[in-house]
Amino acid sequence: MIYITLVCAAGMSTSMLMAKMQQSAKQRQIDVSIIAMPEEKFKTHNGKTDVLLLGPQISYLEDDLREKYEPQGISVAVVDMVDYGMMNGEKVLEDALALVK
């Protein structure tokens, strides 16, 4: 099982993207757990995360979050702005899977 967490400012737009990613994973029979939440909530999240994807609106946090979470084995990346805007769950899922260590 691969654990993907999407974070953004409020968690709303990433929730829509999460649903598209889950749909793509189900169609492709990929065993993943995908959740979405506000960035603030992730600080106290106790669940497993292999890949942390940031919404483009909080891309300014990328360096800080990489420094904090990559030593814990969590890959951190910003979702491509075009894929985010188009809610291209299939492409974002592909990108996330490519980050799994």
Boundaries of domain holding 19 = 2-99
Active site residues: 8
The per-residue pLDDT for range 16-40, each reduced to its tens digit, is 999 999 999 999 999 999 999 999 9
The per-residue pLDDT for range 68-94, each reduced to its tens digit, is 999 999 999 999 999 999 999 999 999
* Nearest of 70, 30, 40, 25 to residue 52 by alpha carbon: 70
50: CATH:
3.40.50.2300
How many folded domains does the chain comprise?
1
Q: What predicted TM-score, i.e. pTM, was given to this entire model?
A: 0.95
